[in-house]
Amino acid sequence: MSANREGSTFKILPPTTNTDYMKQDRILSMLPLIILLLTCINHAFGINPAIKAILTNKGLQYGSHVGTDWMHEKIMGMSIPDVSGGVDIGIGTVSYHLDGMSVTQCDIPAPSVKFSEGTGLQTIISGLSISVRGNWQTGFGIIHDGGSFDLAVFNMDLTSLVQLGSDDKGHMSIISKYCLAGISYAKIYFHGGASFIFQPFVDHFEGRIKDLIEEKICPMVDQHVADLEGLLANMQVAFQINPLLVLDIPLTSPPLIDPLNLGVNLKGEIYSVQQPTEPPFEGKAFDLPKDEGFMFLLGLSEFPLNSASYAYFSTGYFQTTITDKMIPDTFPFHLNTSTFGPFIPQLPKLFPNMLMELQLYARQIPKFSFLRDVVTLEFLGAIKTFAIQPNASHTPLFQLNADSNFSGKVNILEGKLHGLMNLSNFTLTLASSEIGPFQTAALESAMKTVMKMSVLSKLNAKLMEGIALPTIPHLRLVKSVLKVQQGFMLIASDIEVSSDFIN
């Protein structure tokens, strides 16, 4: 006999207190693990998603394997609440109480887990067997007795199909689409006391006991799926990266499922906390390769970085003032008119021995580009210069346009981002002047040297040390490969679950 339920609605079911049912309590507990990588990247609606993630069949099977080990540990260590009830024997009711119950043996064969195209995940468990030991007490009128018992459930089969989707707020959703459960047989042995009186009676009703257990399995599966749905519905889809920026990563469409992969598309836009406005550009479409050689694929277009750049630009973050007090005494170049004399001969003559102040800012939104094997950054800046008079007033001197192009290569090693950046081009031109025209070639060469010695050297030192990538608790990316493609960056990796997750 089997319990069959299809297309049910979802409620949080009250927990059962029947001993025979508790050992099934974790049957589909592996489901959160299987989709863990995808649910932590949770749905807003846009034309082109900026972040894409794919869980391959290789990753699914690894998740199934880890989930089986985890489920075995949880079942063996689970706490089973006491059970009380009564049985009508025709001449009255025999009350019973079961306590001190624990799982003594659990045999979980490897489940079959696969993607169901266009729907979600199908899980098949065949031949699961569990043994429980505990104490029993009975009462019939003034007669009371007790002892111990052993309960065994043999060859339980379970087929479950869950549908993955998305809600209107960009969260991943999950519903139980189909469930079928069956048990070959269940056996209860009573020991001690007058168990010889009760055992024949129990043997007579073992078929009914098996049916009762079967009837509870699918509702328990539904409860776990409904609980998981509740967690997904309350997950954040926006995360504050730092005091200035927020990353918005709702799903832009329901999960894409085929027989070999499960993919999610995410908005991946970064906003300013102060001024959360849309940038004056859109992300470009890109497609991830479907590589069965890795468990997990993650793709990132240029849009997240450029939307972050716009957020910084629109809030005035790309502007700063530099004074001579900010320059170390040991540095060969200082902000005064005498230092600038070799580059601008008329400056020290017009403003002798005066300190200077520089105002640096971006003229346009800095732009990141992903080319094959190369990451580039175009930064079009400007420098306004002032002479500081003895009375502390500021006299405008000239304005320079400083256009920089950076390029570099990046890779992943031991969970950290490494790389090397170069200054591929730097151009300095005179935009306006209050002190007359002058040549900028020598000053351009000097500033290029300063940029390489200060900005680039510090950045490359940090990249050589490695920048730690965001992590998910209990998960580690292994054998990771980073590839920069035309228009997007690809991270392909296997996954390793830490032992403390199972234990």
pLDDT at 302: 96
pLDDT of residue 3 exceeding 90: no
Tokens of 461: 């030192």
**Residue range 356-412, pLDDT digits in tens:** 999 999 999 999 999 999 999 999 999 999 999 999 999 999 999 999 999 999 998
Q: What is the value of pTM for the model shown?
A: 0.81
Percent pLDDT > 70 in the chain is: 87
Nearest to 152 by CA among 104, 200, 198, 194: 104
Q: Please list, in sequence order, all residues whose beta carbon lies within 8 angstroms of the beta carbon of residue 15, skipping any fewer than 6 positions away.
A: none
**Residue range 415-446, pLDDT digits in tens:** 788 999 999 999 999 999 999 999 999 999 99
pLDDT at 159: 94
Question: For 267-349, where are the E strands, in sequence order?
Answer: 269-272, 296-301, 319-323
pLDDT of residue 298 exceeding 50: yes
Tell which wins on pLDDT, 269 or 28.
Answer: 269
What is the C-alpha separation between 489 and 309, in angstroms, rounded? 17
Reported confidence tier of residue 120, pLDDT bands at 50, 70, 90: very high
CATH code for residues 238-494: 3.15.20.10
Buried b vs exposed e over 242-276: b needs ≥16 C-beta within 10 Å? Answer: eebbbbbbbbbbbbebeeebbbbbbbbbbbbeeee
Q: Do 440 and 430 contact (CB within 8 A), yes or no?
A: yes
Mean pLDDT value of segment 57-65: 91
Number of H helices, E strands in the chain: 11, 23
* Cα-Cα-Cα-Cα dihedral sign, residues 54, 57, 63, 64: positive
pLDDT at 458: 87
Mean pLDDT value of segment 267-285: 92
pLDDT at 199: 67
CATH code for residues 2-38+58-235: 3.15.10.10
Tell which wins on pLDDT, 148 or 138.
Answer: 148
pLDDT at 497: 84
pLDDT at 28: 40
pLDDT of residue 39 exceeding 70: no
Mean pLDDT value of segment 282-298: 89
**Residue range 335-362, pLDDT digits in tens:** 999 999 999 999 999 999 999 999 999 9
* Cα-Cα-Cα-Cα dihedral sign, residues 98, 101, 106, 108: positive
pLDDT at 502: 57
pLDDT at 14: 34
* Domain range summary for the chain, segments of one domain joined by +: 2-38+58-235, 238-494
pLDDT at 450: 84
**Residue range 222-266, pLDDT digits in tens:** 998 999 999 999 999 999 989 999 999 999 999 999 999 999 999
Task: Tell me the pLDDT of the chain averaged across its residues.
Answer: 85
